[in-house]
Amino acid sequence: MLAQSRSFFTVSKNGGHAMYKAMIIDDEPIIVQGLSRSVPWEKYNCEVVGTANDGVEGKRLIEELKPNLIFLDICMPEMDGLTMVAGLKSEFPDLEVSILTGFRDFDYAQKAIRLGVTRFMLKPSNMEELEEAIQTMTDNLKAKHIDAGEQSVMEEEQAEEHESIASSFIVKNALQYIEENYTQKLKLADVAEKAYVSQWHLSKLLNRHTGQNFSEILNNVRIEKAKELLKDPSLRIGDIAESVGFMDMAHFSRVFKKQMGISANEYRNTVLGK
């Protein structure tokens, strides 16, 4: 994963010099403008290439612009801050993330740091704090990318630990979302959007952590729920199939028999009839 993520590291050119690309994601326009205009980005060989006012737009721009470092508010509309941090650090482990927020919660800050954020700063932050964060992030980027062979074992292990924690966080949330929404016409894209990762990345994580693909996980949840409902003899099997999310009876029958080795009707009559 670490080797693959190297392709995400890109720098822009400014007057022939390579510049680190920075992004600011905050729902307060005055904060975005202040950070964009007041911080001496050139001093740290950086330039702001994009800004966003919510998590959805922020994630889209990150995928499009491929920044090297971002300042992120974790309390914005249509956004779960820790989930977005986990998604970013899981899919793009080389991306440097600093949190700038008015959310004062020590436990939350600890979780964010475990997921791999570089700095967790409370608003209002002074210029000294901001510049120290930028300096640390650019130093980290230099350490990662001068030469892959020069990266220390400690840095490698630390990066892998953050990535592993973030990936586990994403999988746990994805499985919970599937468990809570299995009755809907659920697609991998729906779950990936909630997890702030690409479909490809989520599919890979689910396979790695569970040994199953998305369809298998979803069908397992649905069949387990169906088995519970089959205990009630007053419920028709067709109604049960529909209530657990299957669009047609034939599909339900195929999946049930594949998983249980017998039909739903046989299961009700033999297994539950004992």
- pLDDT value for 134: 93
Question: 171-189 pLDDT, tens per residue?
Answer: 999 999 999 999 999 999 9
d(CA 44, CA 206): 38
So what's the architecture of 216-271 in CATH? Orthogonal Bundle (1.10)
pLDDT (0 to 100) of residue 202: 94
Could you write out the three-class secondary structure of 133-161? HHHHHHHHHHHHHCCHHHCCHHHHHHHHH
Residue spans per domain, the chain: 4-150, 216-271
Q: What percentage of the chain carries pLDDT values higher than 70? A: 85
Please state which CATH number belongs to domain 4-150: 3.40.50.2300
Q: What is the tens place of the pLDDT at every residue in 20-31? A: 999 999 888 888
Q: Is the pLDDT of residue 8 over 50?
A: no
162 — pLDDT class (breaks 50, 70, 90): low
What would the pLDDT profile of 32-61 be if each residue is shown by its tens digit?
Answer: 898 899 899 999 999 999 999 888 888 889
How far, in Å, CA of 198 to CA of 25, rounded?
19
- Helix 81-91 with 199-210: angle, nearest 10 deg: 80
pLDDT digits 0-9 by tens, 224-234: 999 999 989 89
Give me the amino acid identity at 3: A
Three-class secondary structure of residue 79 per DSSP: coil
Half-sphere exposure for 17 (CA within 13 Å, toward CB): 9
**Residue position matching structure tokens 């120290």:** 132
Rg of the chain on CA atoms, in Å: 23
Cis preceding linkage at 124, omega within 30:
yes
Using DSSP, state whether 252 is helix, strand or coil.
Answer: helix
What CA–CA distance (Å, rounded) separates 193 from 199? 8
